[in-house]
Each structure stands twice: as structure tokens, then as C-alpha cells.
């Protein structure tokens, strides 16, 4: 799969309502659900079952559970290696766990990303300075499942 294929597929999810723990295009998803749904559309069965999770993503315990799960299935990239289709992991507040995901859509001059969040559903947002500062890791989907 190319980055452009991931972006095209993700844009097909725009307008899907936000539903915590869901992963169904048009019916509802959260940020993880968006990536789970894209995985199913482009690669097949999800690589592991997703346990129930709270909206705080184990923040009280300080566990980077989302980051660990992403590392099990996606390939980490250097922060300067920016490409369409990259999976972005965000830390929403300094000192908190990373708990938001998005997919890099457009690059310069107007970078954007596709993500799902409460009150908005799946949207494409500018990857503005405040969002860029929150990125803690960048990943890419596997080219294929072996």
C-alpha cells in the first residue's frame, strides 16, 4: 500500500460520527477505531483483539499502552521522515500519556491530518503548530501482511 492509498481510504471516513471504542465507517469510530477500520479495509483482519479502554488511556497509571500497541504492528519512523499516510501519535498535554492518533494527509505547504475526536467525528484538520508540537512518534503501516 502506498501513502496515497491510506489517505484516500481515510478521506472516505470523513463525516463518520465519534463513538468511543467503535470502528465502523459511517456509523462511528474514535481515533483508534479509524486506524483499525483502515487496517481492515486495506490489509485484512486486525492483528490483535482490542481490549476495552477508557477515554483516559491509562493516564492515571502513566502507562503508554497505546504507544506500545502501535509499536507492535506499525514501523516506527524518524520524525524528519514525513510522508502522506504516516500514522501520528500525539501527547495532548505535557506529562500525560500519548492517547491520540491521526493519519498524515497533505504535506507542505499546507500539511493536514485525518483523525476522529469527540464532538467532531472524523475530520481533516490542518497540521498546525500546536498539533505538530504534540506529535511524539510517527509510524507507517506495513506494506502487506506476511
| pLDDT tens for each residue of 6-65 | 999 999 999 999 999 999 999 999 999 999 999 999 999 999 998 878 776 556 677 888
What domains appear along the chain, each with residue ranges and CATH number? 3-47+63-140 (3.90.1720.10)
Q: Rounded to whole angstroms, how far apart are CA atoms 136 and 42? A: 25
| pLDDT tens for each residue of 104-138 | 999 999 999 999 999 999 999 999 999 999 999 99
pTM: 0.93
| pLDDT tens for each residue of 33-43 | 999 999 999 99
pLDDT at residue 89 greater than cutoff 80: yes
| pLDDT tens for each residue of 65-78 | 889 999 999 999 99
Q: Rounded to whole angstroms, how far apart are CA atoms 59 and 3? A: 31
Query: Cell numbers 492483528 correspond to what residue?
Result: 47
The per-residue DSSP string of 34-53 comes to HHHHHHHHHT-S-SSPPPP-
Amino acid at each position: 500500500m502506498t501513502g496515497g492509498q491510506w489517505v484516500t481510504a481515510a478521506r472516505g471516513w470523513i463525516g463518520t460520527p465519534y463513538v468511543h471504542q467503535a470502528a465502523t465507517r459511517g456509523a462511528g469510530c474514535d481515533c483508534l477505531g479509524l486506524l483499525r477500520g483502515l487496517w481492515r479495509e486495506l490489509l485484512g483482519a486486525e492483528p490483535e483483539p482490542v481490549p476495552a479502554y477508557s477515554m483516559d488511556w491509562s493516564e492515571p497509571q502513566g502507562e503508554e499502552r497505546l504507544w506500545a500497541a502501535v509499536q507492535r504492528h506499525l514501523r516506527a519512523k524518524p520524525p524528519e521522515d514525513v510522508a502522506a499516510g504516516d500514522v501520528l501519535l500525539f501527547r495532548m498535554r505535557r506529562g500525560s500519556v500519548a492517547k491520540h492518533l491521526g493519519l498524515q494527509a497533505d504535506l507542505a505547504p499546507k500539511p493536514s491530518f485525518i483523525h476522529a475526536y469527540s464532538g467532531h467525528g472524523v475530520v481533516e484538520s490542518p497540521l498546525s503548530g500546536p498539533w505538530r508540537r504534540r506529535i511524539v512518534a510517527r509510524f507507517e503501516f506495513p506494506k502487506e501482511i506476511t
